[in-house]
Amino acid sequence: MRTTLTTLQQYIKNNDKFTALTCYDATFAKILEDAGVDILLIGDSLGNVLKGESTTLSVTLDNIIYHTQCVSNGSSKALIMSDMPFGSYQQSPQQAFENASKILAAGAHIVKIEGGQVMAETTAFLTQRGIPVCAHIGLTPQSIHQLGGYRLQGASQQSAKQLIEDALLLEKAGARMLLMEVVPAKLAQEITQSLSIPTIGIGAGKDCSAQVLVLHDILGLYKDKKPRFVKNFMTGTNSIQQAIANYVTAVKSGQFPDHEHEY
């Protein structure tokens, strides 16, 4: 049976954790599903791990559509979520709808959009027209030049307040999930408790409804310095399948992330 947004809502009602990993092809779609991963994210991280770029900004709509089709062809169980790449939704809600509809036609079940209150109108426009949205706040890699690098977000009282306001506004606009990246664990906990929708953390502590990491990172395949929030699940096993299963078990049992992986 396919995991749906209703499934995930039931998880948080029952206080059960769920898992997400990036996925870019049909082969890994099946491997991840068989290991119990609930959400397959076609992330614009493919710019880093597949294209070898230093940012996600070169990823195109056609890149996302192609990899979404690949993952969809190999998937039968998980919820498929696809990033909207840089430049494909910021111009207007109408632009976002045109491009998001192409991503859903390729096999995605929900799209992920970076940005806080500035994306509330777009989120409402899409959700009112049948396109589910996962909002993304905190460190937003598509704004890396504006942010001045890959830095902790929400550390000051003012910026923390802004993130809380963004989260509430995006939920009100219709977002079905909220991803928080590289924010203090205590702040992520407060936001999670303030919302009725699931939260997904990456470098946001253990109290989020779910965790997501880049597949290559949990397999120890990082080309640069390992981010603080990453754990190599290949340690102690020679099997990719077992490493992914260990990640799922660690998240669902509350063992990952621990204090060394949070801010």
Backbone angles phi, psi at 202, to 5 degrees: -140, 105
Tokens coding 141: 């890699």
∠4-229-88 over CA atoms, to 5°?
55
Q: CA 88 to CA 27: how far, in whole Å? A: 27
205 φ/ψ sector (left φ>0, alpha ψ -120 to 50, else beta): left
- Other CB atoms within a 10 A radius of the CB of residue 42 amount to 31
Rounded Cα distance, 14 and 33, in Å: 21
> If we measure between CA atoms, which residue out of 178, 189, 197 comes closest to residue 135?
178
Q: Which positions are annotated as active-site residues?
A: 181
Residue 141: cis peptide before it, omega within 30 degrees of 0: no
